[in-house]
Amino acid sequence: MAIKDNVKAKSRHAKIMLWSALIILCGATLLPLTGYLYVDIMSAQAADPQQSNPRANYWRAIRQGNTGYTAASGAYTTNVLVQNGGQNWRQIRNGPVATYTPWVLAGFAFLIALFHLVKGPQRIDQPLSGKTVARWSLGERVLHWYTAILFILLSITGLSLLFGRAVLIPWLGLQGFSAWATFAIAVHNYLGPFFVAGVLLELIVWIRFNIPNRTDWAWLRKAGGMFSGEHLPAGRSNGGEKIWYWVIATVGVAVCVTGLILDFPNFQQSRETMQLSNIIHTIAGVVWVAISLGHIYLGLIGSKGALEGMTKGRVSVEWAKQHHDLWYEEVKHTGEMDTGAGEPSRAAKQPG
């Protein structure tokens, strides 16, 4: 009897242990799933205005733009407690705009660096003879550097304000960034109108050199020979330079117009107009800066001999023949030439 009782007791203990293990296993599997039930319950409550957060409902109602009485004055703002567009603008500006525009800048910079490492700068094929030809007048050079310096200052201040929270605050700290942001905003706002004047003058002065023609399309199809090494015919401005001009005339003008709208809010433009202008100004500005990296690269180190045109006003005859042969054929008959002995001479204009 004792043996049978022991067998029954062991069997009972085994069943208890088995059921306990099954209960623990089922509990460990099913209990986490109750989170989905909780989410469903909370979602149902959120869908029911009577069960949702009263404070959330309160601010949600305010953001509908319903009219009431406020102390604010001015067009489009009077008697509107909270303008919903401001929150939408903030989410766009701090969301996709601030997230993706750095990749545009990084992408252009990477492609330029890769091109420089693979192909290197374009050098002048022929030995320099010392002969030069006039390319840019003193007035054109002053206008170019006036606008270029302002462009750099506005780019630095504008980009630092756009990316400052992510880039500068960890480096400068809150107080340091606050001081810089105050200075940057003042510089950006006050220099902006002077920059706009320079851009408009450039567009007026140089439009006669930048009307597209068939020669430009042939130049662009082969990317100016930058990859093949081929020398393609070009006039005073080649296809790439004309593209840069029309980037200024489109993207640049968009930046200038929206910048003036933001700089002078006292012209009674609506807040919606200001918010839209800010988004356009930011995106177009980043695109303009990104494309300008290519222009700066070619002007400084990408095309040997080009910088002298904007610093001294003259370029070597060899550079002119290699990069702008059609223009050289014109100026060697009608333009001022330098023989290399410091004695400029003007050749007689030949017929045809």
pLDDT in tens, 220-237: 887 767 777 677 788 888
The string of pLDDT tens digits covering residues 122-174 is 888 888 888 889 999 999 999 999 999 999 999 999 999 888 888 788 887 88
Interstrand relation of 344-346 and 132-134 (parallel, antiparallel or unpaired): unpaired
- Minimal CA–CA distance to 115: which of 306, 293, 288? 293
Strand partners, 213: none
Residue 349: per-residue pLDDT: 37
At the top level of CATH, which class does the domain 85-346 belong to?
mainly alpha
pLDDT winner (highest mean) among 98-107, 225-234, 247-256:
247-256
Residue 38: per-residue pLDDT: 45
* 77: pLDDT strictly greater than 70: no
CA pair distance 217, 214, nearest whole angstrom: 5
* 329: pLDDT strictly greater than 90: no
* 96: pLDDT strictly greater than 90: no
pLDDT winner (highest mean) among 25-29, 173-177, 224-228:
173-177
Strand partners, 337: 133, 345
Residue 18: which pLDDT band, with cuts at 50, 70 and 90?
low
The mean pLDDT value for 254-278 works out to 88
Residue 29: which pLDDT band, with cuts at 50, 70 and 90?
very low
- pTM for the model: 0.73
Residue 351: which pLDDT band, with cuts at 50, 70 and 90?
very low
Residue 215: which pLDDT band, with cuts at 50, 70 and 90?
confident
Domain range list for the chain: 2-52, 85-346
